[in-house]
Amino acid sequence: MSEKLNQEVTRRDFLQLGVTITAGVVVPPVLSACGGGGDSSNPAPKETFVEPLTIQSQNGVLDVTLVLSYLTTTLPNPTTGQPQAVHLRNMFGTIPAPTLRVKVGDLLRIKVFNSLPANPVFPPPSTQFPPPNTQQPAHLRYPNSTNLHTHGLHVYPDVIRQPTSTDPGLYGDFVLDDPNAGIQPGQTRQYEYRLREDHPAGMFWYHPHLHGSSAMQVGSGMAGALMVEGPIDEVPEIAAAQERIFMFQAPIYDSSGQLESFSDVAATTTGEPLFLINGVRRPRILMKSGEVQNWRFCNAAIFNMLNLSLQGHTFYQYSHDGYPRRTFKVVPPLPDSAANPPATATSFPEAVVLGAGNRTSMLVKAGAPGTYLLRTMPVQVGRDAQGQGAPVLPSDVVAEVVVLDDSYPMNLPPEPLPVTPFLAPITDEELASNGGLKRTVVMRVIASNPPLGQPGNYPFVGSATTALVNPPATPTNELPDWVYQVPTSQGPTTIANKVFAIGALLTTSSGNPPDPDLPLTYIPFQSSKALTQTVALNAVEEWTIVNMNNIRHPFHIHVNPCYVVAVNGVYLAESDRYWADTLPMPFSNVQPTPGGNPNQPGAAMTSITFRSRFLHYTGRYVMHCHMLVHEDMGMMQGVTVT
């Protein structure tokens, strides 16, 4: 491929450069056998579901070069659903990006060519506090620099071969660039991932992950499915079922069809865009009565949750995130009445709940002929100050399923289903025999009271009542980089006047012996004091993730998946334990003490406890909130396996 490193890529050039395949093959979508033909006076409905472009490994290798550039296209308006011209950062020429399909044991090579324009020029950094509205935190100044994360893959996480003046280097799943580095405009980077023979087979995905630019890039639609095939796909009944990839995305842009301000992605926490499936608003899916299809869902939004239910049909979930189950999790449909709960409702029934970053795979057996709605039902993303059911994402129709009067009987597979030994349960005995080490990690947003710019002290600046670590005073005061002040012309967002951080230890505010009520320190990831969890290779540990906010932060850890064993301190029955890599946190019922400090945490924290085996790979990676605005603002912490 001719790399025009310093030239503008025109539309025709981009179509030529978008995807170059060195090893692999483009697989055309499987066309549905339904639709068309029949009585011309009463034609069957047409399917409008669009399968993403698929690139399949061949002879054990998938080697592609993929280009990042701007794309001018038409998308449904995020609030009205009507067509609108947009000009967005794009990953490889389509929304979503192509589906990459490999097998366990394959070699996956991806070269990323960043053809985005130079990063914008911002006013010089200021150490003034409160920061002026024109101030942009240092790590948010590089919206056109990037990198690549293969979400959920168990692969080498670090730099394989360091770049030199004559060697561009070679990278694993490396996301720890300084924001002013990454893959800068005009640069390329070669990634390489060797999938082990025992790697889980399932749905993963890939997206940019440079700290500070993740939300704007993924929020533009820069993401694609990454399918790993293995024994589960060879089960005859699953192999016979038509597979459909559902990339749920909610692209974000302003009234001009562009996304050039961090404030626009920050505002998604109060006004949610509509979901698209593979770039289409409310596609129509055709099935035959009795047919079994294999639906693979990925929530690639940067904030929204999904609560998916199909009228009149049961989901037979056989994989969560990318990790197969031995037995189906049977999820019946929610009643239609659940789509419009009373305004006074404080809780909402859940079907298939996917936080940002979650995936699931399930079989669907078509019922009687008719038209059915695939909906995301109302779902709570948090609680209000009184512990009630707010905020709530409302119900929305995301697709229409038409079951034709054309019998096509198919069977569900028998249980148990094949599962790789890599996903063997982590028992109490295994944990104890490996030392039984336990850690606690705390996710917390800390607000300023009063808001920045108003008279008074700012209690989140390192005081004991908030336990936020003091910013370094030299070489410059870091605090302006810990908060985001919104330019007045862009209106308020929910992230202004807040610090997003992860705590390390549970202790009392005075530093005395451990107490579960108060972490010692909270530190945003961009701080020079940011903490790293250091873990020994082959260790088996139990970690508890504590949520101290009234929002369901989706916790995500790279490289090594989580075996969930407890929720809110209550250990699950062995049959209810499961593997995942992205965990929407439970609600927190923390309420301010009357007349007290509204930022003071109480004892009613919520938590998820998981166990992990830190196998096969040393190196550096991260764990973070997958509400990507929170991650970009600091809710992330490093992990180093030695």
Is the bond leading into 416 cis (omega within 30 degrees of zero)?
yes
For 568: left if phi > 0, alpha if psi spans -120 to 50, otherwise beta; the answer is left
CA distance 395 to 373: 11
Which is nearest to 517 in space by CA: 565, 588, 586, 458?
A: 588
User: What is the torsional sign of CA 418, 422, 423, 427?
Assistant: positive
Which is nearest to 206 in space by CA: 305, 298, 268?
A: 298
- φ, ψ (nearest 5 deg) of residue 569: 80, 0
Two tokens, residue 173: 């799943």
If you count them, how many residues does the chain have?
642
- The CATH architecture assigned to 11-242 reads Sandwich (2.60)
CA distance 552 to 568: 13
CA distance 610 to 155: 20
* CB half-sphere exposure, 266, CA atoms < 13 A: 23
* CB half-sphere exposure, 420, CA atoms < 13 A: 22
Residue 225 CA: distances (Å) to CA of 44, 52, 278, 548: 30, 9, 10, 32
- The CATH architecture assigned to 424-641 reads Sandwich (2.60)
Query: Domain ranges in the chain?
Result: 11-242, 262-404, 424-641
CB 8 within 8 A of CB 16: no
Q: Report the largest interatomic distance among the alpha carbons of the chain, rounded to a whole angstrom.
A: 81
262-404 under CATH 2.60.40.420, yes or no: yes
Domains 11-242 and 262-404 share a fold: yes
Two tokens, residue 503: 């705590």
- φ, ψ (nearest 5 deg) of residue 232: -60, -30
Helix (H) or strand (E) holding 12: helix 11-17
Within 330-439, residue ranges assigned H as helices are 428-433
Residue 346 has a pLDDT of: 76
- DSSP code of residue 337: G
Which is nearest to 145 in space by CA: 98, 192, 95, 211?
A: 211
C-alpha dihedral, 166 to 168 to 174 to 178, nearest 10°: 70
In 3-state terms, what secondary structure has residue 239? helix
CA distance 496 to 483: 7
Two tokens, residue 506: 């549970």
In 3-state terms, what secondary structure has residue 455? coil
CB 418 within 8 A of CB 324: yes
CA distance 215 to 304: 12
User: What predicted TM-score, i.e. pTM, was given to this entire model?
Assistant: 0.92
Q: Which residues of the chain have pLDDT under 70?
A: 1-19, 28-42, 78-79, 125-134, 269-272, 383-390, 450, 452-453, 455-467, 473-476, 487-492, 504-520, 588-605
- DSSP code of residue 152: T
- DSSP code of residue 303: S
Place of tokens 């008074």: 456
In 3-state terms, what secondary structure has residue 351? coil
